[in-house]
Amino acid sequence: DAVNAVESRYEPYQPRTSPAPVAASVEAAIAGAAHDTLVALLPESKVSFDAALEETLRAITDDSRRGAGLEVGRTAAAAILTAREDDGANRTVDYTPGTKPGEYCPTPPDFKAAALVQWGKVTPFVLKSADQFRCPDPPAVNSPRAIADLEEVRAIGGTKSAVRTAEQSEIARYWYESSPQGWNRIAREVLAARQFDVWENARLFALLNLAMADGYIAGFDSKYHCNYWRPVTAIRAGGDSEWLSYLPTPPVPDYPSTHTVEGAAAAA
């Protein structure tokens, strides 16, 4: 929105109420929008954000263009932050872990409380509702599909697996990080080979991250609606009481995998 306010080429997400100042610096607009948004959401890192803003602005020698761009960026940031201030991201939602087969409960080794219980209730950015594309129910606990999947995870996914290859371990570690980190890095790599301008880059990153933001919201709506147990819980309940996953199990229900939700949204 900050880039588009300097020169309107695409439909904005939050419409501006006044025209952008003439000859605003797009670099200053980007810096101002990024800085104010980051400071609002991550105030503990304000010093480093201030330094980054100062470094960017120092390279813009035209005072009027710099000031106009900064105003544009800060206006765009304020509009987004105002629109999202009551979106439910900080809401507290009560949650009781399951006790029956197939129901999610905290997982070893640390048995952390369920995380992000409220995330499926966050107001989406683009979707009509968080449950617009809710997943079908997961396979029944005793179904052939569930049993086969569980056996595959038990054999390949454990800390002491004798059949997992070095390549499979590397793939697991590669994709283990936060999806927005990985997919924004992939987007930067893709864009580096193309002659896109600032507007095209900004639009691509905006669409990418809107899709992933709603992917997480929709994914967590389905997660806590289905409330499906993790493989480690099922495997231990089946008699392998010391089994642990190769990489730590995140403290959220298993189904659906939000890593694959994010991957599909980002790739598309």
Distance CA 245, CA 109 (A): 10
* Selection from 218, 252, 211 nearest residue 135 by Cα: 218
Question: What confidence category does residue 99 fall into, taking pLDDT thresholds of 50, 70 and 90?
Answer: very high
Give the per-residue pLDDT at 232.
Answer: 98
Q: What's CA 81's distance to the chain center, in Å?
A: 17
At residue 220 the predicted structure's pLDDT band, cuts being 50, 70 and 90, is very high
Q: What is the pLDDT of residues 188-217, one digit of tens each?
A: 999 999 989 999 999 999 999 999 999 999
- Residue 223 to residue 119: CA distance in whole angstroms: 10
Task: Note the pLDDT tens digit of each residue in 48-97.
Answer: 999 999 999 999 999 999 999 999 999 999 999 999 999 999 999 999 99
One-letter amino acid for residue 124 of the chain: P
Residue 177 CA to residue 44 CA, distance in Å, equals 23
Q: Which of 258, 198, 202, 268 is nearest to 228 (CA)?
A: 258
Closest CA to 5 of 264, 199, 257: 199
Rounded Cα distance between 236 and 242, Å, is: 7
What is the residue whose two structure tokens read 């197939």? 102
Check if the beta carbon of residue 247 is closer than 8 Å to that of residue 164: no
Q: Which residues contact 110 (CB under 8 A, 6 or more apart)?
A: 248
> Which value, to the nearest 10 degrees, does the dihedral of the CA atoms of residues 84, 90, 92, 95 take?
90
Burial 44-70 (b: 16+ CB within 10 A, else e): eeeeebeeebeebbeebeeeebbbbbb
> How many Å apart are CA 34 and CA 27, to the nearest integer?
11
Question: Percent of the chain having pLDDT more than 70?
Answer: 98
Which residue type sits at 211?
A
Give, for 55, the enclosing helix (H) or strand (E).
helix 46-58
Residue 35 has pLDDT above 90, yes or no: yes
CB 229 within 8 A of CB 104: yes
pLDDT at residue 15, rounded to an integer: 84
Dihedral of alpha carbons 107, 161, 155, 266, sign: positive
pLDDT at position 152: 97
User: What is the distance between the alpha carbons of residues 231 and 151, in angstroms, rounded to a whole number?
Assistant: 9
Q: Per-residue pLDDT for 25 more than 80?
A: yes
What is the rounded distance in angstroms from the CA atom of residue 222 to the CA atom of residue 116? 13
